[in-house]
Amino acid sequence: MRGLVWIWRAAFVIVLAPLVLGLLYSAVNPASTLMLARWATGQRVEQSWVPLEAIAPALVRSVLASEDARFCQHNGIDLVELQNVMDTAEDGEPARGASTITMQLAKNLFLWNGRSFIRKGLEMPLALYLNVVLSKRRQIEIYLNIAEWGPNGEFGAEAAAQRAFGVPALRLGARQAALLAVMLPNPHRRDAAKPGPGLSRLAARLQARLPREGAELTACLGL
């Protein structure tokens, strides 16, 4: 009986912690679970927190266009994109992801890396909650500061910009911003500092989209 009580208490803490922390993160700058794991195991973590105003708008737009073009329209889960993924899967084509920035933020703040249906199932309610307690502007500010952005413990836009180009995040140009955005899905194999032909092509395509989509992408951010 006593063991069962402890199980219920542990479950309550596990559920309650993200709810409390989500509220706290509207004012307190958090670290990601991956950053905490690296600190705990003595691995390198390079990060300098900067406010959204100190990040080049070109990078904000590039990341949104690359990762979550409907960021300003959805409530944490992009049902339109999710339906598109389901339709594609039914047609027998390879499945692609439908993770929003908010879902990635939930994973980075509270969950773990790796492919898992359990993790994906937890991401969705956490994303809905974060979208309620955090403004869109705060969501993207946190995301850009804690995303893994390099192969050796670089996290956040400032560390990424300094590592790849030797400039602060505020001074990133359009080409540099596009290269950093397209390396996000795999920062261990893609390198904005030394882009290969494939990464360069992805960045060029992303740059070409931005003049058409830029204002719409950041409509909710005041940029």
Q: State residue 94's pLDDT score.
A: 36
Higher pLDDT, 18 or 1: 18
Residue 25 placed within a domain: no
| Summary mean pLDDT of the chain | 86
Mean pLDDT of 3-22: 60
Residue 147 has pLDDT above 50, yes or no: yes
pLDDT confidence bin for 86, thresholds 50/70/90: very low
Residue 19 placed within a domain: no
Residue 81 placed within a domain: yes
pTM for the full model? 0.89
Asked if 195 and 202 count as a contact pair (C-beta separation under 8 A), the reply is no
Kindly compute the dihedral angle of the four CA atoms of residues 176, 179, 182, 186, in this order, to the nearest 10 degrees. -120
Residue 157 sits in which domain range?
A: 32-217
Residue 117 placed within a domain: yes
Q: State residue 187's pLDDT score.
A: 95
Residue 71 placed within a domain: yes
Query: What pLDDT digit, counting tens, does each position of 102-128 carry?
Result: 999 999 999 877 777 777 788 899 999
User: What domain count does the chain have?
Assistant: 1
Mean pLDDT of 23-48: 95
What CATH code is carried by the domain that includes residue 163?
A: 1.10.3810.10
Q: Name the token pair of 186.
A: 């795999």
Residue 212 placed within a domain: yes
Q: Which residue has the tokens 């931005």?
A: 210
Residue 1 placed within a domain: no
Residue 179 placed within a domain: yes
| Residue 206 neighbours by CB under 8 Å, 6+ apart | 62, 65, 66, 178, 181, 182
